[in-house]
């Protein structure tokens, strides 16, 4: 390639690069950056809507004081959301890795099984779950229990609990495991995308690695821990991040932020709530990313 021409082309390409990114950049400035700082600004103000827009009145840290020391529910709801996330993420990751390993194998009806397991991703989970909460019959028919979490999977862990306790496991671990069994539908339905990502990763591992291991006499179990697991560990990081973000997208906390803004028209408090929420999410993401990325194995 001639030097002069390539320079001209690369200059042109840079210009087009700016042009191509412009719609996004415009959107980012108008719909993300400005609202982002406005929201921070609102959180220190009292916002009142009037006919020709809105007016702000500086109140300092009052909104933050309100949510931490006056509002009885904010801290509790936030802790609940975080605890639910911490409990669910390992289960979802474990379950999706396990299912992906199963689905990566060749067997008859594999496409059908994949199609069914991916179904929960496609079907509206939020709205449906809300409807089912008020749906007594679905609960009665499904679980035949007084469970309030909309658990209609028909699976109960009644037998499992004494069994595990007899085996000498700690009560906390037993509660965690049986709780997981009781929420199996929820866990399955929120691990669809993760299964897909793991599946794609499993299929990208070169078969020659397994062949070599087999020649050396490795069992399937060893091959999983010594080949599959390290090769797939970068995707565990991806999936953990995805799962954390996904779990914070719609929960009691987001509902509360929304209610504060459009139920009580307390826009300042709502902004303050959402900022604390955002900071908590960022800290959790930063810690978990740092913690996992130190343990991840990169092949190349």
Partner 1 sequence: MDTSPKPSKRRSPSAAAQAAARWYDTHAPLEKAKRWLWIFIRTVLIVGICFIILYPILTKLSIALRDKQDMFDATVVWLPRHFTLDNIKTVMDYLKYPESVTNTLLLSLGTALLQFASCALAGYGFARLKFWGSGILFGIVIFTIVVPPQTIMVPTYLHYRFFDIFGLFRLFTGKDGVNLLESFWPFFISSGLAMGLKNGLYIYIFRQFFRSLPKDLEEAAYVDGAGVPGTFLRVMLPNAVPAIATVVLFSFIWQWNDSYFVNLFAPNYTLLARMLDLLPGTVRPEYVGGISHTSLYLNTGTLLGILPIFILYLFAQKYFVESVERTGLVG
Q: How far is the CB of 264 from partner 1 (least distance, A)?
A: 12
**Which range, of 60-68, 69-77, 121-129, 207-215, touches partner 1 by CB under 8 A?**
121-129
The residue within the footprint of partner 1, chosen from 23, 60, 207, 217 (CB under 8 A), is 23
Q: Which is nearer to partner 1, 23 or 60 (by Cβ)?
A: 23
What is the residue-wise DSSP string for 91-119? Answer: HHHHHHHHHHHHHHS--TTHHHHHHHHHH
| # binding residues, partner 1 (CB under 8 A) | 98
Strands (E), 32-167: 45-50, 53-58
**Which range, of 159-167, 169-177, 209-217, 252-260, touches partner 1 by CB under 8 A?**
252-260
List b or e across 23-51, with b for residues whose CB sees 16 or more CB atoms inside 10 angstroms.
eeeeeeeeeeeeeeeebeebbbbbbeeee
The residue within the footprint of partner 1, chosen from 188, 190, 228, 243 (CB under 8 A), is 188
Q: Which is nearer to partner 1, 174 or 235 (by Cβ)?
A: 235
The answer to whether 167 contacts partner 1 (rule: CB under 8 A) is no
Please name the residue that has the structure tokens 């400035």.
29
The residue within the footprint of partner 1, chosen from 78, 180, 199, 236 (CB under 8 A), is 199
Coil vs helix vs strand at 2? coil
Distance (Å, rounded) from C-alpha 263 to C-alpha 174?
40
Cβ atoms of 154 and 219 closer than 8 Å: no
User: What burial class does residue 87 get, using C-beta atoms within 10 Å of its C-beta: 0-12 exposed, 13-18 middle, 19+ buried?
Assistant: middle
The residue within the footprint of partner 1, chosen from 56, 59, 84, 113 (CB under 8 A), is 113
The residue within the footprint of partner 1, chosen from 75, 165, 200, 287 (CB under 8 A), is 200
Q: Which is nearer to partner 1, 169 or 284 (by Cβ)?
A: 284
The answer to whether 170 contacts partner 1 (rule: CB under 8 A) is no
Q: How far is the CB of 119 from partner 1 (least distance, A)?
A: 6
The answer to whether 4 contacts partner 1 (rule: CB under 8 A) is no
The answer to whether 65 contacts partner 1 (rule: CB under 8 A) is no
Residue 62's CB is within 10 A of a number of other CB atoms, namely 16
Distance (Å, rounded) from C-alpha 39 to C-alpha 36?
5
User: What's the angle, vertex CA 277, arms to CA 177 and CA 82, rounded to 5?
Assistant: 10
Cβ atoms of 248 and 85 closer than 8 Å: yes
Q: How far is the CB of 170 from partner 1 (least distance, A)?
A: 27
Rule CB under 8 A: which of 207-246 touch partner 1? 235, 245
């Amino acid at each position: 390639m001639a030097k002069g021409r390539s320079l001209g082309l690369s200059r042109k390409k840079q210009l087009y690069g700016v042009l191509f990114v412009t719609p996004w950049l415009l959107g980012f400035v108008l719909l993300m950056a400005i609202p982002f700082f406005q929201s921070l600004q609102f959180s220190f103000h009292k916002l009142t809507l009037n006919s020709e827009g809105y007016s702000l009145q500086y109140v300092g840290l009052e909104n933050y004081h309100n949510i931490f020391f006056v509002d009885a529910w904010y801290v509790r709801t936030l802790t609940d959301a975080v605890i639910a996330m911490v409990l669910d993420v390992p289960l979802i990751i474990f379950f999706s890795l396990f299912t992906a390993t199963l689905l990566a194998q060749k067997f008859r009806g594999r496409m059908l099984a994949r199609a069914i397991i991916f179904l929960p991703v496609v079907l509206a989970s939020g709205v449906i779950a809300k409807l089912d909460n008020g749906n007594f019959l679905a609960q009665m028919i499904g679980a035949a229990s007084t469970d309030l979490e909309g658990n209609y999977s028909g699976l109960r862990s009644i037998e499992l609990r004494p069994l595990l306790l007899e085996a000498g496991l700690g009560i906390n671990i037993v509660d965690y495991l049986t709780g997981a069994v009781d929420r199996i539908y929820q866990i399955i339905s929120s691990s669809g995308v993760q299964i897909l990502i793991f599946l794609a990763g499993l299929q990208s591992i070169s078969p020659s690695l397994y062949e070599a291991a087999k020649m050396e006499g490795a069992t399937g179990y060893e091959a999983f821990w010594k080949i599959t697991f390290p090769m797939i560990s970068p995707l565990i990081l991806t999936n953990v991040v995805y799962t954390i973000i996904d779990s914070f997208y719609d929960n009691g906390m987001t509902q509360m932020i929304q209610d504060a803004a459009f139920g009580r028209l307390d826009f300042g408090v709502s902004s303050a709530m959402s900022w604390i929420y955002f900071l908590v999410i960022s800290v959790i993401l930063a810690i978990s990313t740092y913690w996992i990325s130190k343990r991840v194995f990169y092949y190349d």
